[in-house]
Structure 1
Amino acid sequence: MPRAPFQVQVVPFRRVGDQVEFAVLRRKDMNVWQAVAGGGEVGERPEEAAAREAREELGLDGPVPLYPLQTTASVPARFFAERDTWPRGTYVVREHSFAIDLTNVEIKISPEHTAVQWLGYEAAHEMLRFDSNRTALGELHERLLATDLPLPVD
């Protein structure tokens, strides 16, 4: 399916006792640590793309709660090979952010990644390469501390 001009990122987290851990994944092609990330497909809504990317990159067997975050970012369209298929004048691609609760869920990373680490907030923040990932992680961390997760998306 053709790629749509938007991007998603998904920050995985899990509760271990009274602690929270966040997953960071090392991307194979760039050798950087990041959240789950990928492009939307034509006809998909951002929440559908986020759920699909999480299933693909984390090897999820069933549905898990996906929470919309307020964090957004822009990625220059010039970084995408599909740019020539998008409407004329597309110079930036909006990135939508989500969180996914993987408490008691087994994951199996895709071949897009070489490793996954479950870390506390500070260590995860330090490992992440992209500012938008760190911003979404920070928002999620604050929401979890405040017990203020939004309702999960369907």
Structure 2
Amino acid sequence: MHKIPVSALVLIHTPALEVLIMERADKPGYWQSVTGSIELGETPEQAAVREVKEETGLDALAYNFQDWHTSNVYEIYPHWRYRYAAGVTENIEHLFGLMLPSALPITLAPDEHTQYVWVDWREAAQRVFSWTNVDALKRLGERHGLNL
């Protein structure tokens, strides 16, 4: 079954704007926030909650989970296009925020990520590989009156 080209990105952060980023298991050196495609019959919000649980072990709905009501369209990297139907080259990524009371320990999905760190949002913007992840971090700062 092919992936649906609609996904959710969740910025998990603290009130002090420490942000959780994780290193991809399939691409060492590639850091990212929680992200994943929707599954058949799922909304982007449901996908965001599911992905947070799968990738971190956290229940997003137990904390301050917010739909940012914005999305980005990006070109799917050629090396990941085999996951989608023939001819699909773009994905729509919906943005969400999840504010935790502090930098909590998480449980990684070992098939997806090898390690995680909590870093200042500006450092996270320097380390993540995806421009949409950088955009989401910029938006996080702006929501708190700060600029990258």
- 1:150 is aligned to none
Q: Which has the higher strand share?
A: 1
What's the CA shift string for 1:6-27, capped at 9, x where partnerless? 1211111012xxx221111111
Q: TM-score, normalised by structure 2?
A: 0.81
In terms of mean alpha carbon deviation, does 49-58 or 94-103 score higher?
94-103
Normalized against structure 1, the TM-score is what? 0.78
Identify if the C-alpha distance between structure 1 residues 107 and 145 changes in structure 2 by more than 3 Å, giving closer, same or farther. farther
Q: Percent identity?
A: 30
| Offset from partner CA, 1:24-51 (integer Å, 9 cap, x none) | 1111111201111111101001111011
Distance 1:77 1:28, change over 3 A: closer
Aligned length: 140
Q: 2:100 aligns with which of 83, 102, 109?
A: 102
Is the contact between residue 19 and residue 120 of structure 2 (CA under 8 Å) also seen in structure 1? yes
* Matches for 1:74-93 after TM superposition, within 5 Å: 74-76=74-76, 79-84=80-85, 90-93=88-91
Q: Distance in 2 between matches of 1:48 and 1:25?
A: 21
Deviations 1:73-100 (A, max 9, x none): 323386333423xxx8644221111111
Which deviations, in whole Å up to 9, do the C-alpha atoms of 1:75-131 show, x marking residues without a partner? 3386333423xxx86442211111111224542122111111111122111111111
User: Equivalent of 2:46, from 41, 45, 48?
Assistant: 48
Counterpart of 1:133? 133
Q: Structure 2 vs 1, CA of residues 20 and 93 (structure 1 numbering), >3 Å: closer, same or farther? A: closer
Q: Does 1:65 align with 2:90?
A: no
Change (3 A) 1:95 1:14: same
Stretches of structure 1 that go unaligned for 5 or more consecutive residues are: 147-154
What is the CA–CA distance in structure 2 between the aligned matches of 1:28 and 1:90, rounded to whole Å? Answer: 24
